[in-house]
């Protein structure tokens, strides 16, 4: 079996890992794989340049200021989401790229007149992580464990799975991030412990309470907010700075995409610095032009200012923690360990709030940026048998049910049910000779179906004519270990499995995924062609240079018709390079010039030489 990598596909940063082997105690040794630039995490940013190139990671981040409309960040927040959700609307207002509705209402991204689904963009990040691992390991990688926030619903998980498929990666398991963090933290813990995993990243907040005992990871409760993270902290700072600037200069920096992007970078940098110092300088020269010339933004910022601006955001995480504790039936004192995950937990005010809530110092043994990916690699090693199996008892984040009479939501699988799980329900017809039964599956906690998230509509078809209430069709709802729902139906009368035609409420169809996979392969081919062409051009330029040098030095030693032939060859190749000729023509022309130059060499040295030795 090939190697299985672990990928933390983060909103802001992604991280890839692999289990290299085991130590003397049989514990996995995990390597965090550095990218080409030597960094252990890679920004989850994809950019499209005017030249048609696709950039991923640090290179994409670096050019964001000059190419804001075509630089997509935080796409994870759009995965499996509808465009009309208030949170998506908020994101639409705050990012510099365009978010548009797809025909089914899903939030898509529009770049350079091309519509792209969030899974497609995510697949580019996954592909980059895959390539980082392949370069490091020197072998092809086909399988991965990918993590998602525990709070991700079925549509969001499905979207993540689609992203893997488009990237040519089989996602062997979709693992909840807090469970992964617990895995990284607690494999060697033999005595039973209850741990709280507090994960505040760039775009999502997760809190989970788990119990670890003898290799069994039991998720007691999980909660959080898929739309609360470091970016919200940045936005607070951006708004504050932009409001002040507007008051003084009458210019709204948020209206200009370039200024907004620069402001965002400066705000995030200031936030980072305030984690280690009490005060920092914000300095953005030439951020705008006023009536009297260029305007600059200069300001000192104190840690306390940031803390005041973001107090309620931190409080929201604490409220979510309390709700989850309550659900788990635990008090703060019951928690043995608090594990901090996510870059935002470097903020002192966050650490303090967590310490006050749990009445103890958070565990410092794990790196908050890498711990999730480390756990993913461990899960991969457990699945391939490289290390002992670990038992992960994850739970469903939200109830799954169906719509029944009067638009009521009837729960079939309540939230916090351990997965995998299966629940069956018998459906029948409500009219005589009814040929099909429509079923609407939803996910959420509200009492009315309309207030919950629609996952899919099913139609049980081909029901033979019968009086109402007579047909009995058993429908099984299965949530697998990835938290993804599948449905199967059996006609109890005939014991035959019933056909289920699915119209997912969101996401990509299999046909769409397939076509994106093909497109990705074409892109790869086009990429390879482009690279080959660039290399050939480079070689050709070198050949032209060395030939011209040789002609200059030795032309008078050669027969004039040879010299003319070589000169012609050089001229033709030059024209080809300038006119953007295709690979094959350049290659032919290159080859014939190369031959001609060999003849020069031959004429100079080879006259008396044995021909056999020269070839
Ligand atoms: P995600 O899991 O969403 O990809 P990360 O765990 O990488 O996110 O966290 C990214 C967030 O952490 C960003 O909002 C970033 O600004 C913030 N962050 C990173 N380092 C620091 C720091 N030293 N102080 C405060 N915030 C930080
Ligand atoms: Mg994260």
pLDDT digit string (tens) for 276-288? 999 999 999 999 9
The residue-averaged pLDDT of 175-187 equals 86
CA–centroid distance, 487 to ligand 2, in Å, is 31
The residue-averaged pLDDT of 160-164 equals 95
Same domain, 317 and 243: no
**pLDDT for the residue numbered 614:** 42
d(CA 539, CA 86): 54
The residue-averaged pLDDT of 541-548 equals 89
Ligand lying nearest the CA atom of residue 307: 1
For residue 50, the domain's CATH number is 3.30.420.40
Residues in contact with 438: Cβ distance below 8 Å, sequence separation at least 6, in sequence order? 457, 458, 459
Domain assignment of residue 551, given as a range: 512-614
pLDDT digit string (tens) for 19-67? 988 888 878 899 999 999 999 999 999 999 988 889 999 999 999 988 9
Task: Kindly report which listed range (70-79, 196-205, 223-232, 239-248) carries the lowest average pLDDT score.
Answer: 223-232
The residue-averaged pLDDT of 331-344 equals 93
The residue-averaged pLDDT of 494-499 equals 72
Same domain, 186 and 324: yes
For residue 572, the domain's CATH number is 1.20.1270.10
Q: Do 546 and 573 touch, CB atoms closer than 8 A?
A: no
pLDDT digit string (tens) for 93-128? 878 899 999 999 999 999 999 999 999 999 999 999
Same domain, 103 and 245: no
Same domain, 29 and 161: yes
- pTM for the whole structure: 0.80
pLDDT band at 356 (very low <50, low <70, confident <90, very high): very high
Choosing from 106, 153, 162, 199, the catalytic residue is 199
- Among residues 393, 422, 440, which one ends one of the domains? 393
Count the Cβ atoms, other than its own, within 10 Å of residue 326: 12
pLDDT band at 163 (very low <50, low <70, confident <90, very high): very high
Catalytic residue at 525? Answer: no
Q: What mean pLDDT, rounded, does the chain reach?
A: 88
Is 489 a residue whose pLDDT tops 60?
Answer: yes
Same domain, 106 and 45: yes
Tell me which of 513 and 241 has the higher pLDDT: 241
**Interior/surface letters 49-82, b for 16+ CB within 10 angstroms, e for the rest:** beeeeebbbebbbeebbebbbbbbbbbbbbbbbb
**CA nearest ligand 1 atom 22, residue:** 272
Q: Do 463 and 492 touch, CB atoms closer than 8 A?
A: no
**CA nearest ligand 1 atom 20, residue:** 343
Percent of all residues in the chain with a pLDDT value above 70, rounded to a whole number: 96
- Among residues 337, 362, 393, which one ends one of the domains? 393
**pLDDT for the residue numbered 502:** 61
- Among residues 311, 344, 370, which one ends one of the domains? 311
Rounded (10°) angle between helices 348-358 and 311-328? 30
Q: Is 62 in the pocket of ligand 1 (CB under 6 A)?
A: no
Same domain, 219 and 234: no
Same domain, 225 and 249: no
**pLDDT for the residue numbered 513:** 82
**pLDDT for the residue numbered 214:** 75
Same domain, 302 and 316: no
- Return the half-sphere exposure (C-beta side, CA atoms, 13 A cut-off) of residue 598: 9
Same domain, 319 and 432: no
Q: Is 168 helix (H, G, I), strand (E, B) or coil?
A: coil
The residue-averaged pLDDT of 338-363 equals 94
Same domain, 148 and 17: yes
CA–centroid distance, 202 to ligand 1, in Å, is 5
Task: Kindly report which listed range (140-144, 230-234, 395-399) carries the lowest average pLDDT score.
Answer: 395-399
For residue 479, the domain's CATH number is 2.60.34.10
Tell me which of 223 and 160 has the higher pLDDT: 160
The residue-averaged pLDDT of 577-597 equals 87
**CA nearest ligand 1 atom 14, residue:** 230
Is 133 a residue whose pLDDT tops 90?
Answer: yes
**pLDDT for the residue numbered 613:** 46
Choosing from 76, 130, 220, 271, the catalytic residue is 76
**pLDDT for the residue numbered 44:** 97
Which ligand 1 atom sits closest to the C-alpha of 10? 4
Q: How many folded domains does the chain comprise? A: 4
Q: Is 439 in the pocket of ligand 1 (CB under 6 A)?
A: no
d(CA 20, CA 337): 28
Catalytic residue at 177? Answer: yes
Is 234 a residue whose pLDDT tops 90?
Answer: yes
Q: Do 22 and 29 touch, CB atoms closer than 8 A?
A: yes
Count the residues in the chain.
Answer: 615
Same domain, 548 and 574: yes
CA–centroid distance, 297 to ligand 2, in Å, is 31
CA–centroid distance, 216 to ligand 1, in Å, is 30
473-476 — which CB contacts under 8 Å span 24+ positions? 473/426, 473/427, 473/428, 473/437, 473/498, 474/424, 474/425, 474/426, 474/427, 475/424, 475/425, 475/426, 475/427, 475/439, 475/500, 476/422, 476/423, 476/424
Tell me which of 170 and 418 has the higher pLDDT: 170
For residue 234, the domain's CATH number is 3.90.640.10
**CA nearest ligand 1 atom 19, residue:** 343
pLDDT band at 450 (very low <50, low <70, confident <90, very high): confident
Q: Is 540 helix (H, G, I), strand (E, B) or coil?
A: helix
Same domain, 197 and 259: no
Structure tokens at 566: 């070589």
Mutation pick for ligand 1 pocket among 9, 45, 202 (CB with most ligand atoms within 8 Å): 202
Catalytic residue at 199? Answer: yes
């Amino acid at each position: 079996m090939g190697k299985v990598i672990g990928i933390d596909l983060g909103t802001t940063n992604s991280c890839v890992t692999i289990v290299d082997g085991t130590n003397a105690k049989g514990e996995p040794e995990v390597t965090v794989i550095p990218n080409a630039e030597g960094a252990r995490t890679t920004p989850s940013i994809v950019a499209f340049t005017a030249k048609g190139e696709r950039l991923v990671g640090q290179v994409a981040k670096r050019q964001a200021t000059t190419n804001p409309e075509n630089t997509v960040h935080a796409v994870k927040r759009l995965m499996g989401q509808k465009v009309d959700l208030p949170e998506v609307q908020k994101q639409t207002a705050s990012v510099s790229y365009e978010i548009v509705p797809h025909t089914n209402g899903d939030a898509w991204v529009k770049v350079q007149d091309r519509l792209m689904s969030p899974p497609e963009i995510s697949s580019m990040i996954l592909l980059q992580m895959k390539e980082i691992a392949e370069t490091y390991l020197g072998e092809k990688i086909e399988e991965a464990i990918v993590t998602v926030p525990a709070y991700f619903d079925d549509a969001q998980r499905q979207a993540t799975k689609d992203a893997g498929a488009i990237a040519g990666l089989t996602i062997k398991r979709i693992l909840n991030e807090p469970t992964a963090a617990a895995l990284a933290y607690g494999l060697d813990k033999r005595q039973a412990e209850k741990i709280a995993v507090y994960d505040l990243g760039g775009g999502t907040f997760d809190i989970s309470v788990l119990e670890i005992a003898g290799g069994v990871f039991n998720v007691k409760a999980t909660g959080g907010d898929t739309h609360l993270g470091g970016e919200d902290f940045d936005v607070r700072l951006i708004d504050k700075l932009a409001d002040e600037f507007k008051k003084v200069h009458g210019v709204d920096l948020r209206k200009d995409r370039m200024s907004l992007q620069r402001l965002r970078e400066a705000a995030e940098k200031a936030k980072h610095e305030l984690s280690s110092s009490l005060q920092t300088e914000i300095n953005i020269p030439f951020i705008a032009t006023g009536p009297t010339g260029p305007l600059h933004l200069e300001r000192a910022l104190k840690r306390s200012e940031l803390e005041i601006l973001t107090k309620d955001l931190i409080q929201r995480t604490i409220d979510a923690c309390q709700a989850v504790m309550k659900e788990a039936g635990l008090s703060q004192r019951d928690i043995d360990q608090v594990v901090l995950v996510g870059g935002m937990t470097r903020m002192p005010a966050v650490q303090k709030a967590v310490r006050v809530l749990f009445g103890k110092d958070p565990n410092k043994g794990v790196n908050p940026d890498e711990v999730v990916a480390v756990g993913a690699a461990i899960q991969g090693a457990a699945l391939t048998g490289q290390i002992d199996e670990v038992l992960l008892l994850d739970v469903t984040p939200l109830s799954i049910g169906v719509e029944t009479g009067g638009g009521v939501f009837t729960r079939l699988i309540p939230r916090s049910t351990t997965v995998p799980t299966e629940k069956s329900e018998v459906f029948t017809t409500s009219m005589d000779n009814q040929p099909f039964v429509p079923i609407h599956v939803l996910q959420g906690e509200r009492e009315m179906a309309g207030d919950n998230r629609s996952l899919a509509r099913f139609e049980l078809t081909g029901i033979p004519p019968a009086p109402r209430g007579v047909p009995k069709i058993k429908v099984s709802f299965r949530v697998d270990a990835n938290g993804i729902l599948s449905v199967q139906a059996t006609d109890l009368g005939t014991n035959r499995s019933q056909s289920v035609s699915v119209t997912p409420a969101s996401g990509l169809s299999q046909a769409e995924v397939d076509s994106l996979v093909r497109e990705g392969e074409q892109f790869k081919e086009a990429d390879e062609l482009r690279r080959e062409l660039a290399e050939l051009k480079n070689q050709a330029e070198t050949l032209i240079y060395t030939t011209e040098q040789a002609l200059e030095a030795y032309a008078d030693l050669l027969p004039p018709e040879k010299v003319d032939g070589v000169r012609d060859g050089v001229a033709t190749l030059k024209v080809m390079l300038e006119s953007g000729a295709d690979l094959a023509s350049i290659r032919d022309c290159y080859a014939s010039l190369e031959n001609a130059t060999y003849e020069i060499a031959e004429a100079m040295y080879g006259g008396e030489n044995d021909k056999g030795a020269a070839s």
